[in-house]
Amino acid sequence: MLTTWSWFRDEARELIEDEEEELSRHKRQAQRRNASNENLWVDGVKYVFDPNASQKLKDGFTLAVNAWQKDTCINFTLVQTREEVKGEDYLYVTTDETDPKGCLSHVGKLGGYQPIFLGDGCESFPHAAHEVGHALGMYHTQTRHDRDKYIHLKDDNIEEEYKEQYLKLTEEKNENYGFPYDYGSIMHYGSSVENPWMVPFDANYKTTMGSPFISFIDLFMMNTHYNCTDICDPKTSAQCENGGFPHPRKCDECICPGGYGGALCNQRPQDCADGKTLEASDGWKSLEANIHKTKDDGTYATCTYWITAPDDKKIEIEIESINTKEPTIGCAKGGVEIKANENHTLTGYRCDIERDARFFLDEEEAQYCYFLYYPKFLYY
């Protein structure tokens, strides 16, 4: 993917029909119920695959549960047959015969047999991770009780059968543990750019919504919901920086926001050979970067750059070109992410084509952008 962008230090097409069809596949959810403590999988999550499940479905679901398990204290256990878990709580991973393209899950643990449906087109990691998030207790981000501060819904553009997926929750039913609204949550729907049904008040986030990644806020909220954050002793565990928190499985290391790495979240991630720390100047500079992904295994290659400037300066970044073949909701087929918010725990602005791609970064901290999926080049 070819991406061109420029930055300097200053003193002071419409979405394709297939994409919309893909988005609509996971809009139909099962009836929700409050994910209170009694709906937690306190003893871990056992799951069984339908004997007729495709290998693609199994692979996508396995990637999803591994991702949630890796950075939480929640354990997932594959069981071969339903007979082995008779009388227990478990997920049955299957497809809905009445809706073969449906992606459905209840919110939280129901108790006993609990189906999770991943129909045709829903077998990929993003869809599976989204549905597992529901099963663990997460609602859609766009239904948060405070969502009206962050998005505007255009009801006339929402198909009638999907409007329930945008109904705002009450504050009593929706516990967000004080975490900020994250446009890049795996639980946030995307929207068309040309004929949107959902518009972010921060326009730079319009292509971030519908993200294919579990965000840092998703992980922090899930760890809080399951009391994983209580496992590590604050006196002896890692003293995380930049908003990170101690890893519940390795208390001497941290789970870090995107763009930060190292044991304490105070280093640039070593995610590629070309990543580096750059210093802005009074004139424009250009960067050409290439990131390769040689195996289509449902994961993304990333490359992180930090851009720094003196405290009394601000940075301007301009993306000149990105050679993605087509725009996608959530920049799912590759793009650039710019951290331009004061709160670096939030997902940044994502671009996958040259769409309003100019940003001003005026914080004291180092800024960064990182690149997602398949070969791409960058100019700065």
Integer Cα distance of 42 and 243 in angstroms: 26
Residues in the chain: 380
The verdict on whether residue 130 carries a ligand-binding annotation is yes
Task: Please say whether the beta carbons of 204 and 158 come within 8 A.
Answer: no
Query: In the numeric block, which tokens belong to residue 42?
Result: 């306190």
- Give the long-range contacts of residues 259-268, CB within 8 A, separation 24 or more: 259/304, 259/306, 259/337, 259/339, 259/344, 259/348, 259/368, 259/370, 260/344, 261/304, 263/238, 264/238, 264/239, 264/240, 265/240, 265/241, 266/241, 266/242, 268/304, 268/305, 268/306, 268/368
Cα atoms found within 13 Å of the Cα of residue 122, Cβ hemisphere only? 29
Sheet of 90-94: strand order equals 76-78, 45-49, 90-94, 113-118, 103-104
The verdict on whether residue 134 carries a ligand-binding annotation is yes
What residue type is 236 in one-letter code? T
How far does CA 14 lie from the centroid of its chain?
A: 23
Sheet of 358-361: strand order equals 285-286, 3-10, 314-322, 358-361
Task: Please say whether the beta carbons of 238 and 253 come within 8 A.
Answer: yes
**Residue spans of beta strands (DSSP E) within the chain:** 3-10, 45-49, 76-78, 90-94, 103-104, 113-118, 151-153, 198-200, 245-247, 250-255, 277-279, 285-286, 302-308, 314-322, 335-338, 349-351, 358-361, 367-372
How far does CA 47 lie from the centroid of its chain?
A: 23
The verdict on whether residue 344 carries a ligand-binding annotation is no
Integer Cα distance of 102 and 352 in angstroms: 27
Q: Which of 131, 175, 253, 337 is catalytic?
A: 131
Integer Cα distance of 180 and 343 in angstroms: 9
Catalytic status, residue 365: no
Annotated catalytic sites, by residue? 131
Instruction: Show binding-site residues.
Output: 130, 134, 140
Instruction: Show binding-site residues for Zn(2+).
Output: 130, 134, 140
